[in-house]
Amino acid sequence: MNRVGICGRNKMVQSLLARRQRLASNVAERSISNWGFVLPIVCIVILFLTFQAYTFTELMLVENIASVANEKSRLASSLSDSGIAYASSRITKPGGDAAGLTATEEWSGRLSLSKRTGDGEFDILSFNAVTQRWRLGVVDETSKLNLNELPLGSEHALEARRMLLCMPRVTPRLADAILDWLDADDEPRPLGAEAAYYSSLQRDAKARNRPLDHLTDLLGVRGMSEEILFGADRESVWGKMPPEVVGGSQIQRQRAGVNISFDEIGLEHFLTVYGGASFVTDQGDERIVINNPDLVALFDTVDAKFGEEVATYVVAYRLYGPQDKSDLPADNFLIDEVESARRRGEQQAGLGQNNEAIQEETQMETTRGILKIKSSGNFTVRSIYDLIGVPVKLPKEYNFEELNSPWKSSGSNYPRLVPMLQSVFSFYDATPINVKVNVNLSPVDVLNAIPGIEDGLADHIVKMRSKLGGGNGLQGSSSIDWLRSQGVLTMDQLRTYAPYMTVRGNAFRFLSRGRLVSTGESFCQEVVIDRRQFPPRVSYCMPVVTHASGFVNGIEID
């Protein structure tokens, strides 16, 4: 029994040991199996974290690059703004001839920014349609015909059409359509187009019937196209400039040896919508409106500026005209006689209704100095040449007293008096047409648009100014008096055309380009500065597309 019991216990112990071994083996197998499952999970987690770290690092690098690029762009933009401020200060410099200062180092500047960014520079660039070149400087918009100053009344319709026909590629049909686009009425001209035409093309379409804000407003005119307005490129030279190479301070347009005639140049180089009459001086003082209908106010203003003697002479001229009235320029050549006769008939038909008001006005009398002022005057002062050396003879009630001009007409006085008096007085509304053309800078086509100009006179002006001042016009001339002193115009001609001539306007157009020297990062803006008020203001500013590679719409930035 004992032996049997011992054997049974041994078998039981062996069975338990075998079972434990099997359990241990199963546990080991399960443990090994778990280890194989965790390893891929750990690898995936590590890979994910690595990817996140890489993505974050890449994002930070991109942010850093963007931040640096933004800083460079901001600096280039600031340099461009500095160029605008610099150009404005030069344009508004008293007595300065901004239009004549072209292709000189004075229209560029260099600024020290910081050790990290290095130096920066700005250039003031303009396009010369005559030479087809980019240059340093600005464009005086009076070298073009101002559409917003054209006479739109029916009695001046023929002269307005003639002025537009002087421009290349303008036909009578297009000229009338442009004038209808500008005038306030809906009555079409003989070859024009008004609301009836435009509404037939598109419902509710009509003519603009108000002044233009930008030359692109002309693209809505019947017969106008991008090719006519901008030239063969069909894009404004100011918005997408042609290739150029910067060499020294002179910027030249590459034309691959192709010569371009004026007939191929777009109208944007001959027409403008900027500028006009200014009633403030360069110092910000109000100019004296010499054709002010309130002669009492005119007397007081001139008296405060020049004294009673000058005020008496000026108002006497407005009342009684010059002593020799045969020398007075006539503006009859500007008027459509048929339309003028019709208007006179309308005025005479309504004259009886206004007789009492006219009589009441003429009965009012105010005394200033020796003058008894009782009307708004029968004469206008067309230009300063009407006053220099011109005597005035008073009527019988003043015992036919003769007043000599306070400004003597000796040859040495003109160069000093003309620019000085033109800066003080405004002659606006002296004639039915208020267009001003720059005789120092305008091409022949624009000079021919001067109201009533004689045949061949525009060519003579261009030839003489080229002879005297070179290809950039007559530089340094501060008034139109060089036309008299050089024998280009007689005094009678000068008195006739002076109201339509100038040597400096009130609107200047240019590109202001800012650039970082170290990286070539650049920023360009098209700008128009209007100096009809004080201080002058930027009337138009539009960025030109700039690329970080140093190219601005096809322009290589050196």
Q: Which H, E and C letters describe 43-110, residue by residue?
A: HHHHHHHHHHHHHHHHHHHHHHHHHHHHHHHHHHHHHHHHHHHHHHHHHCCCCCCHHHCCCCHHHEEE
455, 392: one domain? no
407 vs 389: CA distance, rounded Å: 6
Return the pLDDT at 9: 66
Nearest to 334 by CA among 125, 173, 157, 109: 157
Supply the pTM of this predicted model.
0.80
CA atoms within 13 A on the CB side of 121: 16
DSSP strands (E only) in 157-299: 244-247, 250-253, 271-272, 288-289
* pLDDT band of 174, cuts 50, 70, 90: very high
CA atoms within 13 A on the CB side of 230: 17
404, 441: one domain? no
130 vs 143: CA distance, rounded Å: 11
Return the pLDDT at 38: 72
Does residue 374 lie in a domain region? yes
250 near 103, Cβ under 8 Å?
yes
Does residue 550 lie in a domain region? no
Question: What pLDDT, in 10s, does the model give residues 491-515?
Answer: 999 999 999 999 989 999 999 988 8
Say if residue 336's pLDDT is above 70.
Answer: no
500, 443: one domain? yes
Question: What pLDDT, in 10s, does the model give residues 404-461?
Answer: 999 998 878 888 899 899 999 999 888 889 999 999 999 999 999 999 899 999 999 9
Does residue 206 lie in a domain region? no
399, 446: one domain? no
Say if residue 340's pLDDT is above 80.
Answer: no
Return the pLDDT at 319: 94
104 vs 90: CA distance, rounded Å: 13
516 near 75, Cβ under 8 Å?
yes
Does residue 468 lie in a domain region? yes
451, 363: one domain? no
345, 443: one domain? no
Angle between helices 295-306 and 308-320 (to 10 degrees): 150
96 vs 504: CA distance, rounded Å: 9
Total number of domains in the chain: 2
433 vs 450: CA distance, rounded Å: 10
Does residue 392 lie in a domain region? yes
Distance of CA 142 to the CA centre of its chain: 10
DSSP-derived 3-state class of residue 392: strand
Does residue 396 lie in a domain region? yes
452 vs 459: CA distance, rounded Å: 15
Last residue of a domain, one of 489, 504, 519: 504
Task: State the residue range of the domain holding 464.
Answer: 437-504
443 vs 439: CA distance, rounded Å: 9
Query: What's phi and psi for 253, nearest 5 deg?
Result: -85, 135
328, 394: one domain? yes
402, 451: one domain? no
Say if residue 156's pLDDT is above 80.
Answer: yes
373, 453: one domain? no
Residues contacting residue 258 through CB under 8 Å, at least 6 positions apart? none
Say if residue 246's pLDDT is above 70.
Answer: no
Return the pLDDT at 421: 92
* pLDDT band of 342, cuts 50, 70, 90: low
| Cα dihedral 463, 466, 472, 477 sign | negative
Does residue 104 lie in a domain region? no
Does residue 314 lie in a domain region? yes
388 token code pair: 């220099």
DSSP-derived 3-state class of residue 304: helix
Number of Cβ within a 10 Å radius of residue 360: 9
- Section 223-246 average pLDDT: 77
